[in-house]
């Protein structure tokens, strides 16, 4: 939907595309318990922190 409304992209889309693959969930595996309900992806949380 973002590409459909902004075919040339935006600054946020450019940054997201460049940071894709910078982190993996395995990088944060030790920070989360093995049991229980899964929350948000640690990669998504890390990218939000970086972009802020």
11-48: per-residue pLDDT in tens?
888 888 888 888 888 888 888 777 877 778 888 888 88
Residue 7 has pLDDT above 80, yes or no: yes
What pLDDT is attached to residue 1? Answer: 81
Contact 42, 26 (CB under 8 A): no
Would you say the pTM of this structure is higher than 0.85? no
**What is the domain count for the chain?**
1
Backbone φ and ψ for 30, nearest 5 degrees, come out as -70, -15
CA pseudo-torsion sign 12, 18, 2, 41: negative
Q: Which helix (H) or strand (E) holds 51?
A: helix 42-51
What pLDDT is attached to residue 26? Answer: 87
Give me the domain span that covers residue 32.
2-51
């Amino acid at each position: 939907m973002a590409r459909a409304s902004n075919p040339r992209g935006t600054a946020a889309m450019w940054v997201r595309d460049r940071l894709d693959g910078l982190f993996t969930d395995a990088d944060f595996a030790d920070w989360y318990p093995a049991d229980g309900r899964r929350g948000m992806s640690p990669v998504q949380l890390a990218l939000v922190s970086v972009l802020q």
